[in-house]
Chain A
Amino acid sequence: MESVSNTPEAPNARTPGSEASDGEPLVAVHGLTKLFPVGAGPFRKPSSFIHAVDDVSFQLGHGESLGLVGESGCGKTTVGKLLVKLLEPTDGEIVFRFADDSVAPAADDPWDSAAIRGRLLRSFRRRVQMIFQDPYESMNPRRTIYDIISEPLSVQGMGDVQYRVDRVLEILTLVGLAPAGAFLFRHPHELSGGQRQRIAIARALVIRPSFVVADEPTSMLDVSSRTGVMSLMQDLATELGVAYLYVTHDLAVARYMCHRIAVMYLGKVVELAETEELLRNPLHPYTKALLSAVPVADPGRRRQVPDIRGDLATPIDPPSRCRFYERCPAATERCLNHPHPPIEEKTPGHLVACYEV
């Protein structure tokens, strides 16, 4: 494991921000909720619901990268899939404002995620792409690297074969697979894990999206190729001006890659702040526990034992109180008797959902 302190300082060459003409964020998420029914049948009502994502709100500027951190099963991948419209939200809205509006709707028009379908969905797919977690399963083993990378181009009907070959060669070189021509007619199983992840990145970036959801893009890689892929994604973000949503469970990765970090717990965002602010000054007890769990390469250092009891609670119909109540060291009567705390700005730019902060 890499530790936070071992990771080099994030090369924040580009500053986060809202570069759109009117200062509107690229993605604005309001009250996003996704419930999965449990025990539903053709003629049976679901007995209960899994609250995978529950009333999540955040914003993401143009060219910014936001980390979504949390333990397994907290709903971070679901948020990613909702953003790329692989899933439809139960409630809440997602509004996109793309900087270049060569495709309808016209400039400055917000794209309401719920209204995107049919032809609009196609042009939406040109703007928003996803890098999948598993570089082994996310590629059709029967297709060649050329087929895989050029798929977004060909299903969108962009250019002829020559154009697509050129674009694929270009992006292959860009992601550091050279000589690019030698890779075109390989199959995914002929490549190493790191190479495959580069292919996955190339596929997401070949149509120049404005926004990419990266679902743990480095979790399946060993540490040596991880750093390479991370710096590659950094470079590409700078070069192509892509905004990223990084879904990860690794704080070190999030620190290296992201301008801001949102911490999720059981379908809720519990804390959201600038990366360094969050790491230096965590406010939510869960974030504190998460940070103290990161190993530090110093055998002499006495570890501060996180005072977190028990296991991850079930997301099936959670009771109306703070989601973290059962495990929280700072929990009080108020946390038990009130619904889950709303997320509030405690210090400028630092949002926390906790009654006791």
Chain B
Amino acid sequence: MTTPVPVGPIPTPEFEVELGRGRVRFVLARLRLMWRSFRSGWGIFMESRMGRLSLFTIVAFALMAAAHPILMAFVWDPATYDPVTGYSFDQVEQPAPPSWKHPLGTDPLGRDVLSQLLYSTRSEFVLGITAALVTVGIATFVGAVAAYYGRLLDAFFMRLADLIIALPAISLLIVLSALFHLNLFYLALIIGVLGGFGGTAIILKSQALSIKVKPFIEAARVAGGGDFHIIFVHIIPHLLPLALLYMMFTVTSAIFAEAVLSFLGLLDLRMSWGIMIHTANTGGYLLGGTRYWWLIVPAGASITLLCSAFYLAGRALDEVVNPRLRRRND
């Protein structure tokens, strides 16, 4: 019996095709699928108290960040309320305690504290999210590549990670900010690179190792997939949930690092929560205890709240990503 491998399409019986013909319907079906999995994850996230609380806090801060330009354009007089150059002439002495005109008082230089607080929120978000994206981008790639190729590449990246973990991050940042002119973007980049090649890379690599040995990787290779295909189509999608989780933790550490550096006066920023505390400190008002609370509490509480909100969001996401942590309902 001669059986040449058939070349043309083989005849198939008639069947109902649920899927519409054509690219658009095809893409729509895929989008619907993504939406469905997003919805189920969202449900788990919102079920946890940590998730709801963190989301509420983050949204509140985001609204604060959005409110500042609107207030400056329509409500506040820039000469009085500008977070850096404003001066409140109608106060007898600076810093002035909270009043109707200045809900959070003024700082030692006569500037409105609320305006400073709102103005800084935006840069905290920009800093945190940029640093997180850089970290996770690098860590995911490094982790996947180190796990997939193993051997020398793995050894190199893992020793590099050990080195970075061994370095005290804040001290390193102090040295770097003394040597270079650090603005918000460079700070985010440095924090991101340190995190990306550091601990996060090790965690994502160990996850990638457990994916690499799954039979579907072999199946992909038999299908004809090359290294690039296997890393980007099969390994990295499995790392993304964990990467998202570590993004949240990186936001926390980035905001915290910025606050420390600003407090030490090492950053070239117009205004930030750290600088607000720095201003109070240089005027000697930190020693006044609770008497000048409005100089310290708003910025300090904001740092604490936003950092813990992102941390809690990470913990709640952990439950979405990691089914073993979920509370059982049965």
A-side residues, CB < 8 A to B, are: 14-15, 17, 19, 62-63, 84, 86, 99-100, 102, 121-122, 125-126, 129-130, 132-134, 137-140, 142, 144, 151-152, 155-156, 161-162, 165-167, 169-170, 173-174, 178-182, 184-185, 203, 208, 210, 239-241
Cβ–Cβ < 8 Å partners of A156 in chain B: 224
CA distance A65 to B225 in the complex (A): 26
Bound-state CA distance A83–B175 (Å) is 58
Q: How many A-B residue pairs have CB under 8 A?
A: 119
A151 pairs with B220, CB closer than 8 A: yes
Chain B residues with CB below 8 A from A178, complex form = 15
Residue of A nearest to B27 (CB): A161
B214 part of interface (Cβ distance < 8 Å): yes
Asked if A241 contacts B223 (CB within 8 A), the reply is no
Task: Assess the B17–A169 pair: CB atoms within 8 A.
Answer: yes
CB distance from B146 to the nearest CB of A (A): 16
Given A132-B215, A138-B215, A241-B4, A181 contacting B15 (CB threshold 8 A): yes
Q: Smallest CB-CB separation from A166: which chain B residue?
A: B9
> How far apart are B260's CB and chain A's nearest CB, in angstroms?
39
Instruction: Give complex CA distance A19, B3 in Å.
Output: 8
Q: Would A63 and B3 be within 8 Å (CB), given that A155-B224, A162-B21, A169-B17 are in contact?
A: yes
Residues of B within 8 A of A125 (CB): 222-224
Does the CB pair A162–B23 fall under 8 Å?
yes
Instruction: Give the residue of A137, A155, A180 whose beta carbon is less than 8 angstroms from that of B215.
Output: A137
Residues from 1 to 17 in B contacting A, C-beta threshold 8 Å: 1-7, 9-10, 12-13, 15-17
Whether A132 touches B19, Cβ cut-off 8 Å, given contacts A174-B10, A174-B12, A241-B5, is no
Q: Across the interface, do A208 and B9 meet the contact criterion of CB distance under 8 Å?
A: no
Taking the nearest CB of chain A, how far is it from the CB of B29, in angstroms? 5
B39: chain A residues within 8 A (beta carbon):
none
B157 to chain A, nearest CB (A): 16
B19/A62 in contact, CB under 8 A: no
Contact B5 A140 (CB under 8 A): no
Q: How far is the CA of A202 from the CA of B257 in the complex (A)?
A: 53
Residues of A within 8 Å of B225, CB to CB, are 151, 155
Closest 6 A/B residue pairs (Cβ): A241-B3, A125-B224, A181-B18, A181-B17, A152-B223, A138-B215
A125 to B224, CA, bound (A): 5
New contact pairs (18) apart from A125-B223, A139-B216, A174-B10, CB-CB < 8 Å: A15-B1, A19-B3, A62-B3, A63-B1, A86-B218, A129-B222, A130-B219, A142-B237, A151-B220, A155-B229, A166-B9, A180-B15, A181-B17, A184-B29, A203-B219, A203-B223, A240-B3, A241-B5
Q: Check B15 against A99 for contact (C-beta < 8 Å).
A: no
Partner of A170 from the list B10, B219, B222 (CB cut-off 8 Å) is B10
* Nearest CB of A to B242, in Å: 13
Contact of B12 with A170 in the complex, beta carbons under 8 Å = yes
